[in-house]
Structure 1
Amino acid sequence: MSIVKGYHGTSLDNAKSIITTNFRPSKEGDEYLGSGVYFFIDGLCCPIEAGKQWAISKHAKNPSLIEASIELENSSVLDLRNNDHVKKFNMLKDAFFDKLKQENIVLLTFPQKRKKWEDKCKIANFIIETSKIDIAIKDEYFPEVGNKVEQEFGIQLKVSNCTIMNVANPNKILNQSLLEWE
């Protein structure tokens, strides 16, 4: 069975709840790869360090890190590091906009009247649901996991610095454990 380790940065209280009751996919509407459970995975940087930095940036008083095993075998994976998958994503994105036109749905065009993340989440969710995707993977840029010099000087180069995974199907998360760190 093909399994990948993923690292989820959160607060200690959230981590204890997750360990007890399992992950609950986010459904806030502001997830850039759709609703699901997000992890840092091996790729452009150390996923453990990225998870720690994320947890510290969001939960400075009580950061925590969860390691999870995620099943890739028998999973439908959209890997946006692969050009063929990017082409598929763009084709399905176009289908999303065609559907909006067919149903006479108009998106607001003024950024102050909507959140750009909500649009990205709706598009990603449409693609995930239409293609029955379990897992989406993407190289991404997060200032929270940038190197210390970038953070110190407030420099955002916007060049991908980590690899993330959205597990849209929580049944693909086989187990999770709390990682201790100083």
Structure 2
Amino acid sequence: MTHRFKGYHGTSVNSAKEIIASNYKRSIGDKEWLGNGVYFFIEGISSKPEEQAKKWAIVQAWDNLNHRDKYKQYCVIKSIIEVNEDNLLDLTKEEGVEIINYFLECFENKINKLNKKLDFLDGLLINLARGEGILPIDVVKGNFYIKFAKERIKRINLRTPNCTICTVFEPDTNIVDTNIVFTGDIKDETK
């Protein structure tokens, strides 16, 4: 069975143009929430993932070090994601949580030997499972708490997830359509 769903990616207008021209570039690293891949907001906990992608693009524009925006215009891109059920790791369901716990058992010794200082192991476990060929994972989805501008400004920190995100490991394989949904000016949104 093939799953098909809409993913929304928030970024700058310039990055969006590059994505449309040559596809997405993966985020790489063991600190990535759901392992290596391209990240999207999808329907799940929220029925408005496109709004969450917009909020993410706006908050990502802010440069804490220089106290100014890195870009002036944001963009939300919609992509259609297709994945075979056998290649989807769904951490919003009990079966998915059982699989991630199995990965932890499999890699506990290896993680200790790596001596990496990570606050969370999810991304590392998924990357290890892919690398070792334990499970062919093309798409991973999970529920997370993400701090958007309001939460960051007011220093709100919750454990309750507020969004569902997914990562696509091979965008050329699992993304079948991509287009720009809307753009806007950062300053208009942060007044």
TM-score for both structures, normalised by structure 1:
0.83
* 1:143 and 2:147 aligned: yes
Match of 1:63 in 2: 74
Deviations along 1:42-94, whole A, 9 cap, x unmatched? 01111001000000000252211110000034651000011011111101121
* 1:87 and 2:98 aligned: yes
Match of 1:43 in 2: 44
Q: Secondary structure at the match of 1:32?
A: coil
Q: Secondary structure at the match of 1:39?
A: strand
User: Following superposition of structure 1 onto structure 2, how do residues 147-162 of structure 1 map, counting pairs within 5 Å?
Assistant: 148=150, 150=151, 153-162=154-163
Structure 1, unpaired ranges of 5+: 109-113
* 1:180 and 2:188 aligned: no
Aligned amino acid, residue 26 of structure 1? S
Q: Secondary structure at the match of 2:54?
A: helix
* 1:78 and 2:82 aligned: no
How far apart, in 2, do the equivalents of 1:125 and 1:73 lie?
Answer: 19
Aligned length: 170
How far apart, in 2, do the equivalents of 1:53 and 1:100 lie?
Answer: 34
Q: Secondary structure at the match of 2:7?
A: strand
Match of 2:17 in 1: 16
Aligned amino acid, residue 119 of structure 2? K
How far apart, in 1, do the equivalents of 2:130 and 2:162 lie?
Answer: 24
Match of 1:111 in 2: none
Percent of aligned positions with the same letter in both sequences? 32
Conservation of the 8 A alpha-carbon contact between 1:32 and 1:124: no
Q: Secondary structure at the match of 1:131?
A: coil
Q: Secondary structure at the match of 2:28?
A: coil
Q: Give the C-alpha shift of residue 13 in structure 1.
A: 1.1
Question: Which is richer in strand?
Answer: 2
RMSD: 2.2
After superposing on structure 2, the runs of 4+ consecutive aligned residues of structure 1 that deviate more than 6 Å are none
Conservation of the 8 A alpha-carbon contact between 2:41 and 2:165: yes
Structure 2, unpaired ranges of 5+: 62-68, 185-191
Q: Give the C-alpha shift of residue 128 in structure 1.
A: 3.4
